[in-house]
Amino acid sequence: MRQVQIVKTKTNVIGVVILGLAFFFYGASHRSSGVRSTESLSPASKESRSAPDFELKTVDGRAVKLSAFRGKAVVLNFWATYCGPCRVEMPWLIELYRQYQLQGLEIIGVSMDDPGEAQQVADFVREFGVNYTIVLGNHTVGDAYGGARFLPQTFFINREGRITGSATGMKSKADFEILIRELLANASHKFN
């Protein structure tokens, strides 16, 4: 009996180590290549990168259209409650929204949880104290933004409604802040 218990413990430890290594190598391989500003987009893609509009419901049932945020710098973040890296990023987004909201920043979190899990999303939002707009996403919206296959996935949208950059996978708070400042600086040159 004791031998079986030792084997189970060793198996669990090996599993945790393998999972930890997988996250480490995933993060290392995506750290520098996942954040793209407009400089890394080809000129042709810059011209055709208008952010697809959508209308989605919030967890309390309000309808939200992306086009209603025209004139604001928007960070559009695809996430899910089951996504570990999303949970790490969320407090950073909460803090960055608090810091840059008065300068014209809006953050919209698009939950890619299953449709029947709206209450779970609402509980998660309340638990984390999310201070920005959260909407319940679907595959149609995900597909419009390239499939949203890898979460978190974030798009940076200027005041004219054009995508100026994107990030796939977990990024540091500093990476987000750099792109947010760039987005706000470029927007303020055009609109102030």
pLDDT tens digits, residue range 33-91? 343 333 333 233 444 489 999 999 999 999 999 999 999 999 999 999 999 999 999 99
Instruction: Label residue 2 by pLDDT band (50, 70, 90).
Output: low
CA distances for 43 relative to 49, 84, 101, 139, 168, angstroms: 10, 34, 30, 28, 21
Q: Token pair of 137, please?
A: 């996403």
* Angle 97-174-27 from CA coordinates, rounded to 5°: 115
Look up tokens 């090996």; give the residue: 14
Instruction: Label residue 1 by pLDDT band (50, 70, 90).
Output: low
Q: Token pair of 17, please?
A: 């180590």
pLDDT value of residue 31: 34
pLDDT value of residue 174: 94
User: How many other C-beta atoms lie within 10 A of the C-beta of residue 136?
Assistant: 21
* Angle 73-88-101 from CA coordinates, rounded to 5°: 25
CA 93 – CA 154 distance, rounded (Å): 11
